[in-house]
């Protein structure tokens, strides 16, 4: 049996007024806050838009999509990448997220990944060497990340043993269905300040359906 326990909302973060790197709202317009120099993480706090049954089916079928989609042909491209009437709700949400991403950043194509995972894809804390990435987990636990003011020195050094370097209460986690934008290391004027994050651990038999969008 596949389990998709709901995670709690992103934890309260130890931010001071001078470190407002995190912006969260139930309104999707919050994603535009990522354009602010101070904001490193923007989160649209919404419930999971897909039924547990559809998420379980997608995971059971081990769907794995990795493709650059032209915004001008987005609907047709999604139908080619993810055929089947039963996947219409998933395609609808992917269309919404891809269209929002393209409009926000003014790009003509977006890089889509949809993956059913049974183990952490990136279990170590790391920073993405890209400008920005959208993440959403439809089933299972969401991605974990660290506020910049709690990242210990040397944590990202290759080969560094990360075990025990970060206290559990310092780790923030996205909730199922939430849509987040994480700045990477190559965002303008952001070298060395990308969001430190990792995949969550999974219990035996647990799965998660992860979506990412790149520009």
Which residues are CB-neighbours of 159 under 8 A, at least 6 positions away?
none
pLDDT along the chain (215 residues), means of 10: 36 45 95 94 95 93 94 93 94 97 96 87 80 93 86 71 77 94 88 82 84 95
- Only one residue has tokens 């950043």, namely 105
Whole-number pLDDT of residue 162:
74
Angle at 49 (CA atoms; ends 48, 50), nearest 5 degrees? 95
What is the radius of gyration, based on Cα positions, of the chain? 17
Whole-number pLDDT of residue 120:
66
Q: What is the pTM of this model?
A: 0.85
Which residues are CB-neighbours of 167 under 8 A, at least 6 positions away?
none
């Amino acid at each position: 049996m596949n389990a998709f326990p709901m995670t709690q909302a992103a934890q309260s973060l130890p931010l001071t007024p001078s470190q407002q790197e995190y912006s969260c709202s139930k309104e999707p317009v919050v994603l535009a806050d990522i354009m602010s120099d101070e904001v490193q993480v923007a989160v649209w706090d919404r419930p999971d838009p897909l039924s547990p049954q559809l998420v379980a089916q997608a995971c059971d079928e081990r769907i794995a999509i990795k493709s650059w989609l032209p915004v001008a042909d987005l609907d047709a491209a999604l139908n080619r990448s993810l055929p089947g009437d039963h996947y219409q709700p998933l395609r609808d949400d992917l269309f919404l997220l891809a269209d929002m991403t393209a409009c926000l950043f003014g790009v003509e194509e977006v890089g889509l990944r949809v993956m059913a995972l049974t183990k952490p894809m990136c279990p170590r804390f790391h920073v993405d060497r890209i400008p920005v990435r959208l993440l959403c987990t439809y089933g299972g636990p969401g991605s974990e990340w660290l506020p910049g003011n709690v990242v210990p020195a040397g944590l990202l050094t290759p080969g560094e043993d990360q075990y025990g370097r970060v206290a559990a209460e310092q780790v923030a986690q996205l909730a199922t269905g939430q849509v987040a934008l994480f700045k990477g290391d190559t965002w303008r004027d952001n070298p060395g300040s990308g969001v430190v994050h990792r995949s969550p651990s999974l219990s035996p038999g647990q799965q998660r359906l992860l979506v990412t969008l790149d520009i």
